[in-house]
């Protein structure tokens, strides 16, 4: 569990923010030089990952906005001194519109009087943009955020908070938003499903996505909740509930160091990212589901077969994708390692090639994309990084919306790749074999997944205790069947990557064709066993290994007494559709790997010999 809440006041409040995923916001109003405070705040938010940055300052010379693609150092190098004591800043991780100066925040209105920074996703941006264009507003970026500043312009008649309130009434989606207006020291802000905190100073106040950005100036923090809105000036911070009523909120005293704060109180980025998965899953649905089902990707295509190509964790996600696509759409799918692609024959070409790469920069996957293009195959990339190299090499792109991932071991990017696979499979199945009630059932299962995964995360301590049977092992086998065979490949990959224990993922049916010879009391087994078509066979495989004295850690469904009776330890997940079970099961194997590595004292976020992105082949 996270090691947050070190200060006594933090303990009392029980407040904790696990949600920070992408982009960073900073705001300041007070006697200091706003430019310096904002730029320093942006540097402290850099750890979150970003591709562009900018600030807007309200000063004697009106509203001044500077923004650019690239890092904060680049932004600073080209920036003149700006006088002013109030302003907002932003680090952007592109999700809607590529990384560029135009798409960087702050966004300004047509008259250059208002500036807005925003984290989150505006779902109804299309209809809002059309409405605003009809009213005469001119758009200059590809972002969803720009609709917010034009709406604000439309509703602003001298009261910025009222204008923001009215703006947000029109908006569907998620946000942490902050806005300023020329000639006023006030900053207004609001939150829905994206983090936002206020830092209280003496005759000065701060606003940020997380406390890291303001810790240098104050440790008095107010956490803003969903639906709340605020008005911040040097003298006071007024907070309003979702009915617009003024409310009083207590501040807490934070005693974290900046590094603690960046990890949100978790011991490692990997654990933080594992705990962010309910939000990642939610965002991946929010950003993709409706438009995919409405036909935005893979439209009007006669797809007779699909090839998925990837490396490492993305390869395992592709294998889950193969099972999901075949089960839900009936389209045959194969999976190939990107590094092996160059040796494949051209004789049987699949019409659609899906390249899966969280970074979008993996050299082998890029080479495979180029080969597919050369062979005239249609290409779709599933990636997490907007504007990455792969996005320029393929015909279509599916963005996974996991937010930046800092730990070398892929976790939240993997579960969002799985979400992408399910959404594509449903989309393909919709026009082929799936009945309406089936689509509804699977859609419901996906939409319930953030809650299901949160239930699994609540078992982190239980999993930590269970891994004592693995920590001294020389070798561990991960067994699964059908769609959870790749889940167990992923469990083995995670374990070897961060704990340095040799681990192998195996299709349980293959045991008797070789690996059984290796099993004994010193070789623990992790086995998945969910209520799907492979259940009985998994029970037999577990009995088989238990008969060779191998200790077994079983992962099954809550209430499965038969499984509990034959394993040494059982970790149970809530019941889900068998085909969707890789999502919660993955979270269990991630936590198994994490806690094992932690108990062995390994450098979890930076395992030896590995890099986050492998750009050489
Ligand atoms: O960025 P990509 O998804 O293309 O990366 C592929 C692999 O290098 C990557 O998944 C690697 O296996 C991870 N570190 C595993 O956690």
**Helix ranges (DSSP H) in 547-581:** 561-566
Confidence of residue 93 (pLDDT cuts 50, 70, 90): confident
Nearest ligand 1 atom, CA 610: 14
C-alpha 100/C-alpha 364 separation (Å) is: 26
Which among 156, 487, 560 has a CA at the least distance from the CA of 148? 156
- pLDDT, position 50: 83
Residue 481 has pLDDT above 90, yes or no: yes
pTM of the full structure: 0.76
Q: Which of 269, 311, 615 to mutate to test the pocket of ligand 1 (most atoms within 8 A of CB)?
A: 311
Which of helix, strand or coil describes residue 441? helix
pLDDT tens for 356-382 read 999 998 989 999 999 999 999 999 999
- pLDDT, position 348: 62
Positive or negative torsion for Cα 323, 328, 332, 335: negative
What does the block give as tokens for 498?
């961060």
Residue 192 phi/psi, 5-degree rounding, is -145, 110
Whose alpha carbon is nearest atom 1 of ligand 1? 359
Nearest ligand 1 atom, CA 613: 1
Q: Which helix (H) or strand (E) holds 188?
A: strand 187-192
Confidence of residue 22 (pLDDT cuts 50, 70, 90): low
- pLDDT, position 552: 97
Residue 183 has pLDDT above 60, yes or no: yes
Mean pLDDT across the stretch 487-516? Answer: 95
Which of helix, strand or coil describes residue 386? coil
- pLDDT, position 326: 97
pLDDT tens for 259-281 read 666 787 899 999 999 999 999 99
C-alpha 590/C-alpha 488 separation (Å) is: 10
Residue 491 phi/psi, 5-degree rounding, is -60, -45
Nearest ligand 1 atom, CA 313: 10
Q: What is the greatest pairwise CA distance in the chain?
A: 80
Q: Is 11 a catalytic residue?
A: no
Q: Which of 339, 361, 362 to mutate to test the pocket of ligand 1 (most atoms within 8 A of CB)?
A: 362
Q: Which helix (H) or strand (E) holds 412?
A: helix 412-430
What does the block give as tokens for 67?
């923004």
C-alpha 526/C-alpha 504 separation (Å) is: 10
C-alpha 442/C-alpha 426 separation (Å) is: 8
Residue 616 has pLDDT above 80, yes or no: no
CB 275 within 8 A of CB 18: yes
- pLDDT, position 369: 95
- pLDDT, position 253: 85
C-alpha 7/C-alpha 14 separation (Å) is: 11
- Tell me whether residue 561 is exposed, middle or buried, using C-beta atoms within 10 angstroms of its C-beta: 0 to 12, 13 to 18, 19 or more: exposed
Mean pLDDT across the stretch 295-322? Answer: 90
* Residue carrying structure tokens 């979008």: 360
CB 205 within 8 A of CB 29: yes
- pLDDT, position 615: 62
Name residue 507's beta-bridge partners: 480
Whose alpha carbon is nearest atom 4 of ligand 1? 357
pLDDT tens for 567-594 read 999 999 999 999 999 999 999 999 999 9
- pLDDT, position 61: 87
Residue 83 has pLDDT above 60, yes or no: yes
- Tell me whether residue 350 is exposed, middle or buried, using C-beta atoms within 10 angstroms of its C-beta: 0 to 12, 13 to 18, 19 or more: buried
Residue 300 has pLDDT above 70, yes or no: no
Nearest ligand 1 atom, CA 410: 16
- pLDDT, position 13: 31
Residue 39 has pLDDT above 80, yes or no: yes
Spacing, Cα 314 to ligand 1 middle (Å): 6
Confidence of residue 2 (pLDDT cuts 50, 70, 90): very low
Residue 33 phi/psi, 5-degree rounding, is -75, 110
User: Ligand 1: residues within 6 Å at CB?
Assistant: 311-314, 357-359, 362, 365, 408-410, 493, 497, 613-614
Which among 434, 382, 390 has a CA at the least distance from the CA of 410? 382
- Omega within 30 of 0 (cis) for the link into 106: yes
Strand order in the sheet with 220-223: 62-69, 52-59, 86-92, 24-29, 205-208, 197-200, 220-223, 252-253
Residue 191: which region, alpha, beta or left (left: phi > 0; alpha: psi -120 to 50)?
Answer: beta
Q: What is the mean pLDDT of the chain?
A: 91
More confident residue, 314 or 195: 314
- pLDDT, position 9: 35
* DSSP, residue by residue, 329-367: H---EEEEEHHHHTTS-SSS--SEEEEE-SSS--HHHHH
Task: Choose the catalytic residue: 15, 537, 599, 612.
Answer: 612
Mean pLDDT across the stretch 321-348? Answer: 90
Task: Choose the catalytic residue: 23, 311, 529, 572.
Answer: 23
Could you give all domains of the chain from N- to C-terminal order, each with its CATH number?
24-255 (3.60.20.10), 263-447 (3.40.50.10490), 457-608 (3.40.50.10490)
Residue 58 phi/psi, 5-degree rounding, is -95, 115
């Amino acid at each position: 569990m996270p090691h947050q809440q070190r200060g006594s006041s933090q303990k009392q409040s029980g407040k904790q923010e696990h949600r920070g995923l992408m982009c960073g916001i900073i705001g300041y109003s007070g006697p200091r030089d706003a430019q310096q405070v904002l730029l320093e705040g942006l540097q402290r938010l850099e750890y979150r990952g970003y591709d562009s940055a900018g600030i807007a300052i309200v000063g004697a010379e009106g509203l001044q906005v500077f923004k650019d693609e690239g890092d904060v150092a680049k932004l600073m190098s080209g920036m003149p001194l700006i006088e002013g004591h109030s302003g907002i800043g932003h680090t952007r991780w592109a999700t809607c519109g590529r990384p560029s100066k135009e798409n960087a925040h702050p966004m300004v209105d047509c008259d250059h009087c208002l500036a807005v920074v925003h984290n989150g996703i505006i779902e109804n941006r299309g209809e809002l943009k059309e409405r605003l264009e009809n009213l005469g507003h001119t758009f200059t970026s590809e972002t969803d955020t720009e609709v917010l500043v034009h709406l604000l312009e439309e509703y602003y008649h001298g009261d910025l908070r009222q204008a923001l309130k009215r703006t947000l009434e029109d908006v569907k989606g998620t946000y942490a938003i902050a806005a300023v207006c020329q000639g006023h020291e006030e900053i207004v802000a609001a939150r829905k499903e994206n983090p936002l905190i206020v830092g209280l100073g003496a005759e000065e106040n701060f606003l940020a996505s997380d406390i890291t950005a303001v810790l240098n100036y104050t440790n008095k923090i107010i956490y803003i909740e969903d639906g709340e809105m605020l008005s911040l000036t040097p003298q006071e911070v007024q907070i309003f509930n979702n009915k617009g009523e003024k409310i009083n909120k207590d501040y807490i005293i934070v005693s974290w160091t900046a590094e603690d704060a960046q990890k949100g109180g978790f011991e490692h980025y990997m654990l933080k990212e594992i705990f962010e998965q309910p939000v990642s899953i939610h965002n991946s649905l929010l950003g993709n589901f409706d438009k995919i089902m409405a036909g935005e990707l893979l439209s009007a295509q006669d797809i007779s077969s699909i090839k998925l190509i990837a490396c490492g964790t993305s390869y395992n996600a592709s294998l889950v994708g193969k099972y999901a696509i075949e089960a839900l759409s009936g389209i045959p799918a194969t999976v190939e390692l990107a590094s092996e692609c160059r040796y494949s024959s051209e004789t049987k070409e699949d019409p659609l090639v899906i390249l899966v790469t969280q970074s979008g920069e993996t050299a082998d996957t890029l080479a495979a994309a180029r080969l597919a293009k050369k062979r005239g195959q249609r290409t779709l990339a599933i990636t997490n990084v907007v504007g990455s190299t792969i996005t320029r090499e393929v015909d279509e792109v599916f963005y996974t919306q996991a937010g930046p991932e800092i730990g070398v071991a892929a976790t939240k990017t993997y579960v969002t790749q799985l979400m992408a696979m399910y959404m594509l499979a449903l989309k393909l199945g919709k026009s082929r074999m799936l009945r309406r009630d089936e689509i509804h059932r699977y859609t419901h299962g996906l939409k319930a997944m953030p809650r299901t995964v949160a239930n699994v995360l609540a078992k982190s301590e239980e999993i930590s205790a269970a891994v004592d049977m693995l920590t001294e092992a020389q070798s561990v086998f991960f067994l699964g069947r059908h769609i959870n065979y790749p889940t167990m490949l992923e469990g083995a990959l995670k374990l070897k990557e961060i704990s340095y224990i040799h681990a192998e993922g195996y299709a349980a049916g293959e045991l008797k064709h070789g690996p059984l010879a290796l099993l004994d009391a010193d070789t623990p087994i992790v086995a998945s066993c969910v209520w799907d078509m492979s259940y009985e066979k998994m029970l037999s495989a577990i009995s088989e290994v238990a008969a060779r004295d191998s200790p077994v850690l079983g992962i099954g469904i809550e209430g499965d007494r038969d499984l509990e009776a034959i394993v040494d330890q059982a970790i149970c997940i809530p019941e889900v559709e068998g085909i969707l079970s890789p999502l919660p099961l993955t979270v269990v194997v991630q936590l198994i790997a994490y806690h094992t590595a932690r108990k062995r004292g390994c450098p979890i976020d930076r395992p030896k010999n590995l890099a986050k992105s492998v750009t050489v082949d």
